[in-house]
């Protein structure tokens, strides 16, 4: 199941699907131009076909094959944040299968920072469609073991590249004319973007889902997650803390702290791993509190709200 990058490239060239490490989370990769490979990704994850995939490239020039037109501001953002945790949604070329883009006329593109990910793309020789390597709506994987737990028997191999340095999915940005719009908060904090950007107010545009990552339930552990701390803590509860522990913390059966000194970057790195850990402890409930709304706090809060099930 665990394979080298050369073996991964060989499998990808043969139309197979493999999990690869990136700096955000592990991705389940296949040839973005091969509808059969892309269909295998959807099937393995049990992901609905309307939820489009992000296409990963190794060099900026590869965007030409995918994208019909690049708005000026998209280019500026790519220059500033690529390689890195930023995904740009741009008008697609006909060559990109509709299956890859969930039937949309746009394609989401990202150049990952993790060297192994770019090496695999280069060895394969084509861009890789790669959503997170987890079952649809479940917790995203930040280690090869997480991938194995959820997808072990369903995919052709896993490349173990160690832990993910960012730990949270990419920021997804689309454009209305030249105005960048954040479809999903992520690894690049809004404050870092420095452009006039706005959050997509609603996932719907003319009745259609503009960015399915805005679905209300996503990233969920199996154990129910609550985002308010009650005065009476129910028995066998777990706490996903951030910074200073609450006064009643001794009541929890298990506590993990995203960042003892309240650092949201450290919290992003720990988020999914700690949720996986708490989820495996057979707790009756997991409690967590939202982070201050700054920097990566916004992206972490987005994941916690969706993990709870009602954003």
Point out which residues bind Mg ion (CB under 5 A).
Answer: 132
Please name the helix (run of DSSP H) or strand (run of DSSP E) that holds residue 118, with its range, or none: helix 115-124
Q: Does 169 bind ligand AMP (CB under 6 A)?
A: yes
Alpha-carbon distances, residue 74 vs 177, 183, 235 (angstroms): 11, 14, 50
Cis bond before residue 83 (omega within 30° of 0): yes
Nearer CB in complex with ligand AMP: 45/285: 45
Residue 247 Cβ, how far from ligand AMP at the closest point, in Å? Answer: 37
Binding region for ligand AMP (CB under 6 A) out of 5-13, 73-81, 168-176, 222-230: 168-176
C-alpha to C-alpha distance for 45 and 48, rounded to whole angstroms: 9
Q: Is 74 left (phi over 0), alpha (psi -120 to 50) or beta?
A: alpha
C-alpha to C-alpha distance for 264 and 193, rounded to whole angstroms: 17
Nearer CB in complex with ligand AMP: 118/184: 184
Contact set for ligand AMP, span 193-232 (CB under 6 A)? 210-213
Backbone angles phi, psi at 199, to 5 degrees: -80, 145
Residue 175 Cβ, how far from ligand AMP at the closest point, in Å? Answer: 11
C-alpha to C-alpha distance for 31 and 14, rounded to whole angstroms: 9
Residue 243 Cβ, how far from ligand AMP at the closest point, in Å? Answer: 27
Please name the helix (run of DSSP H) or strand (run of DSSP E) that holds residue 10, with its range, or none: helix 5-13
With CB atoms as reference, the residue minimizing the distance to ligand AMP is: 213
Q: Does 172 bind ligand AMP (CB under 6 A)?
A: yes
Residue 73 Cβ, how far from ligand AMP at the closest point, in Å? Answer: 16
Interaction pattern, residues 26-65, with ligand AMP; x per rule: CB under 6 A:
-------------------------xxxx-----------
Tokens of 41: 């990704």
Tokens of 136: 């649809």
Binding region for ligand AMP (CB under 6 A) out of 98-106, 189-197, 226-234, 289-297: 98-106
Residue 305 Cβ, how far from ligand AMP at the closest point, in Å? Answer: 15
**CA 239 from centre of chain:** 23
Count residues binding ligand AMP (CB under 6 A).
Answer: 21
The one of ligand AMP, Mg ion, none whose footprint includes residue 51, by CB under 5 to 8 A per kind, is: ligand AMP
The one of ligand AMP, Mg ion, none whose footprint includes residue 129, by CB under 5 to 8 A per kind, is: none
DSSP letters, 123-150, are HHTS-EE--BSSSTTBPPPSSHHHHHHH
Binding stretches for ligand AMP (CB under 6 A)? 51-54, 89, 101, 104, 106-108, 131-132, 169, 172, 174, 183-184, 210-213
């Amino acid at each position: 199941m665990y394979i080298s990058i050369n073996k991964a490239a060989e499998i990808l060239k043969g139309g197979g699907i493999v999990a690869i490490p990136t700096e955000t989370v592990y991705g389940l990769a296949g040839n973005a131009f091969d509808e059969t490979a892309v269909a295998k990704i959807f099937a393995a994850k049990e992901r609905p076909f309307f939820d489009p995939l992000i296409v990963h490239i190794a060099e900026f020039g590869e965007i030409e094959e995918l994208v019909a037109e690049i708005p000026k501001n998209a280019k500026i953002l790519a220059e500033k944040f690529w390689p890195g945790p930023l995904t740009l949604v741009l008008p697609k070329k006909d060559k990109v299968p509709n299956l890859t883009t969930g039937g949309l006329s746009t394609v989401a593109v990202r150049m990952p920072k993790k060297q192994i990910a770019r090496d695999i793309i280069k060895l394969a020789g084509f861009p890789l469609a790669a959503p997170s390597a987890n079952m649809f709506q479940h917790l995203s994987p930040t280690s090869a073991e997480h991938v194995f737990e959820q997808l072990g028997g369903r995919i052709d191999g896993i490349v173990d590249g160690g832990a993910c340095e960012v730990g949270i999915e990419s920021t997804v940005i689309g454009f209305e004319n030249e105005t960048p719009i954040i479809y999903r908060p992520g690894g690049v904090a809004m404050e870092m973007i420095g452009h006039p950007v706005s959050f997509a107010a609603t996932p719907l545009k003319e009745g259609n889902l503009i960015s399915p990552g805005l679905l209300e339930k996503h990233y969920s552990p199996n154990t129910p997650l609550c985002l308010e701390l009650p005065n009476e803590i129910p028995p066998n509860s777990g706490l996903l803390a951030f910074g200073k522990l609450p006064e009643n913390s001794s009541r929890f059966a298990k506590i993990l702290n995203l960042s003892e000194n309240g650092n949201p970057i450290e919290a992003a790195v720990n988020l999914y791993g700690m949720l996986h850990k708490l989820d495996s402890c057979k707790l009756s409930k997991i409690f967590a509190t939202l982070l201050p709304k700054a920097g990566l706090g916004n992206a972490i809060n987005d994941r916690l709200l969706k993990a709870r099930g009602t954003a």
